[in-house]
């Protein structure tokens, strides 16, 4: 007889966080420097040079024909000069996260999750630029918003497979299926993990609040990631076959002051940025 | 190649007007100003039947991804995306 394993409660799930690799130091460094006006390129270069995969990705981007340089870019410092600090941070964060958290199972495709996260991050940055919120913090929160799913798959793969079955069979939104199986959802799990990792408060709020903005507990970043996720799904970024646009909070939209008609003018730019980022990341 | 919509800098100033040629010089200027993308006009070889089919496919995909009930915010987002996709397909 097959015995069904009960999914862990949130506390037990967090105890299992040791099954995940630790957050790369370069990611922590970038996230902590996002709101620091005095952050310097020297310390970033030092961090970057400890990770060959990131250095390789940066040099590939800087040497790509898109930047039209005749001379070869051979060092991280030169790559920062060519690409700019913003692009370097983007490529670094995404490369480090994809490289360290690529836990796939037969029922869970982590590359699909990262394509989706990159879409949400791209939308979050564009919306943040419009409402004068920190675009880099918004991008980072977008990139990390579904980190709870990675934790749940690493600690409880069988229960996550059950979630996927429910989603397929009943066309349930992921949070409904997760709550039915686990009793909580990946936003709650991700928020708790972000706290455990000591991530900045605004990024933690974006992760925790992206499915429950109406509570108002997660402030502007919770609202922003919620709206960014809806736009990303609506634009089909990530191209999941069974893509489904989640419900949109009118309260979050109102609080951010976002009009769809105003955002419409930026949709081509969002799609172009997303395509460029996927190309740069080989995603 | 022709620039389809005006290219603006970070402060909103028009760097290249719609209709300007995208040549070596303009590409270099765009790179120097870190412009991430431009929209260009290209000849459309599709016939009317192809365009109609592509519009129908885009609409069907929007209907699929927006399946289920909607708040007014979600319904308005659907209309915005539908209009954008139709314009792209036409």
Asked if the interface predicted TM-score (ipTM) of this complex is over 0.85, the answer is no
> Are residues B85 and B54 both part of a single domain?
yes
> Are residues B37 and B7 both part of a single domain?
yes
The chain-wide mean pLDDT, for chain A, equals: 87
The two structure tokens encoding residue A253: 């939209």
d(CA A198, CA A204): 9
Tens digits of per-residue pLDDT, A186-241? 999 999 999 998 888 999 999 999 999 988 888 999 999 999 999 999 999 987 88
Chain B residues touching residue A278 (CB < 8 angstroms): none
Q: Which domain does B73 fall in, by range? A: 48-89
The pLDDT value recorded for residue A70 is 57
> Are residues B24 and B56 both part of a single domain?
no
d(CA B18, CA A100): 44
Instruction: Tell me if chain A has a CB within 8 Å of the CB of B77.
Output: yes
Element (H, E) at A130: helix A110-131
Of the candidates A207, A202, A200, A262, the one whose C-alpha atom is nearest the C-alpha of residue A231 is A262
The pLDDT value recorded for residue A69 is 56
d(CA A163, CA A153): 10
Q: If you measure CA to CA, which chain B residue comes closest to A250? A: B73
Q: Across the interface, do A245 and B74 touch by the CB < 8 Å criterion?
A: yes
Spatial neighbors of A6 by CB under 8 A, at least 6 apart, are none
d(CA A241, CA A214): 29
Tens digits of per-residue pLDDT, A126-173? 999 999 888 888 999 999 999 999 999 989 999 999 999 999 898 899
Q: Across the interface, do A68 and B72 touch by the CB < 8 Å criterion?
A: no
d(CA A165, CA A172): 10
The pLDDT value recorded for residue A3 is 64
Q: If you measure CA to CA, which chain A residue comes closest to B83? A: A264
d(CA A187, CA A119): 17
The winner for highest mean pLDDT among A3-17, A48-62, A216-230 is A216-230
Q: Across the interface, do A250 and B73 touch by the CB < 8 Å criterion?
A: yes
Q: Give me the residue from A243, A248, A260 closest to B71, CB to CB.
A: A248
Q: Is the pLDDT confidence value at A33 over 90? A: no
Residue from B3, B7, B68, B73 whose CB has the most chain A CBs within 10 Å, to mutate: B73
The two structure tokens encoding residue B40: 């260009």
Q: Give me the residue from A171, A250, A260 closest to B80, CB to CB.
A: A260
Tell me how close the Cα of A68 comes to any Cα of chain B, in angstroms: 8
Q: Residue A184: how many CB atoms within 10 A of its CB?
A: 18
> Are residues B34 and B8 both part of a single domain?
yes
The pLDDT value recorded for residue A54 is 86
Q: If you measure CA to CA, which chain A residue comes closest to B62? A: A234
Please give the average per-residue pLDDT across A174-183, as a whole number: 95
Q: Domain limits of chain A?
A: 22-100, 103-283
Instruction: Tell me if chain A has a CB within 8 Å of the CB of B37.
Output: yes
CATH of A103-283, one of 1.10.150.450, 1.10.3210.10, 1.10.10.10, 1.20.210.10: 1.10.3210.10
Q: Across the interface, do B83 and A260 touch by the CB < 8 Å criterion?
A: no
d(CA A120, CA A234): 11
The pLDDT value recorded for residue A271 is 94
Q: pTM surpassing 0.90?
A: no
Q: How confident is the model at residue A51 (pLDDT cuts 50, 70, 90)?
A: confident
Of the candidates A71, A51, A53, A50, the one whose C-alpha atom is nearest the C-alpha of residue A62 is A71
Q: B33 versus A92: which is more confidently predicted?
A: A92
Instruction: Tell me if chain A has a CB within 8 Å of the CB of B65.
Output: yes
Q: Is the pLDDT confidence value at A125 over 90? A: yes
**Coil/strand/helix, residue A242:** coil
Instruction: Tell me if chain B has a CB within 8 Å of the CB of A282.
Output: no
H helices present in chain B, as ranges: 24-32, 48-65, 72-89
The pLDDT value recorded for residue A197 is 87
Please list the rounded mean pLDDT of every run of 10 residues in chain B (90 residues).
Answer: 84 86 84 79 87 92 92 95 89
Q: Is the pLDDT confidence value at A71 over 70? A: no
Q: A101 versus A219: which is more confidently predicted?
A: A219
Chain A residues touching residue B66 (CB < 8 angstroms): 234, 245
Instruction: Tell me if chain A has a CB within 8 Å of the CB of B82.
Output: no
The pLDDT value recorded for residue A37 is 63
Q: Across the interface, do B80 and A261 touch by the CB < 8 Å criterion?
A: yes
Q: Is the pLDDT confidence value at A39 over 80? A: no
The pLDDT value recorded for residue A67 is 54
Q: A3 versus A42: which is more confidently predicted?
A: A42
Total domains present in chain B: 2
Q: How confident is the model at residue A68 (pLDDT cuts 50, 70, 90)?
A: low
């Amino acid at each position: 007889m097959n015995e069904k394993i009960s999914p862990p409660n949130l506390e037990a799930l967090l105890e299992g966080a040791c099954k995940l690799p630790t957050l790369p130091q370069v990611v922590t460094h970038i996230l902590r420097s996002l709101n620091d006006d005095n952050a310097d390129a020297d310390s970033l270069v030092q961090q970057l040079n400890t990770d060959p995969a990131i250095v390789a990705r940066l040099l590939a981007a800087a040497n790509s024909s898109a930047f039209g340089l005749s001379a070869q870019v051979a060092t991280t410092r030169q790559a920062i000069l060519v690409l700019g600090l913003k692009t370097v941070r983007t490529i670094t964060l995404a490369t480090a996260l994809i490289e360290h958290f690529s836990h796939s199972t037969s029922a869970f495709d982590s590359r699909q999750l990262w394509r989706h996260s990159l879409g949400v991050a791209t939308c979050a940055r564009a919306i943040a630029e419009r409402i004068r919120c920190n675009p880099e913090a918004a991008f980072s929160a977008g990139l990390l918003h579904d980190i709870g799913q990675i934790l749940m798959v690493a600690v409880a793969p069988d229960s996550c497979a059950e979630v996927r079955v429910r989603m397929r069979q009943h066309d349930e939104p992921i949070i409904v299926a997760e709550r039915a199986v686990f009793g909580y959802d990946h936003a709650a799990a991700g928020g708790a993990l972000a706290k455990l990792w000591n991530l900045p408060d605004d990024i933690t709020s974006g992760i925790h609040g992206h499915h429950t903005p109406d509570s108002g507990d997660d402030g502007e970043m919770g609202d922003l990631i919620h709206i960014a996720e809806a736009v990303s799904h609506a634009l089909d970024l990530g191209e999941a076959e069974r893509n489904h646009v989640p419900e949109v909070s009118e309260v979050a939209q109102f609080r951010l002051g976002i009009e769809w008609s105003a955002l419409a003018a930026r949709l081509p730019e969002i799609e172009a940025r997303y395509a460029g980022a996927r190309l740069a990341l080989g995603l | 190649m022709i620039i389809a919509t005006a290219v603006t800098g970070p402060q909103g100033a028009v760097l290249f007007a719609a209709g300007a040629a995208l040549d070596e010089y303009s590409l270099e200027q765009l790179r120097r100003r870190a412009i991430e993308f431009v929209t260009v006009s290209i000849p459309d070889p599709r016939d009317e039947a192809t365009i109609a089919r592509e519009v129908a496919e885009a609409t069907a995909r929007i209907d699929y991804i927006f399946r289920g009930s909607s708040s007014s915010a979600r319904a308005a987002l659907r209309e915005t995306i539908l209009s954008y996709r139709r314009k792209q397909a036409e």
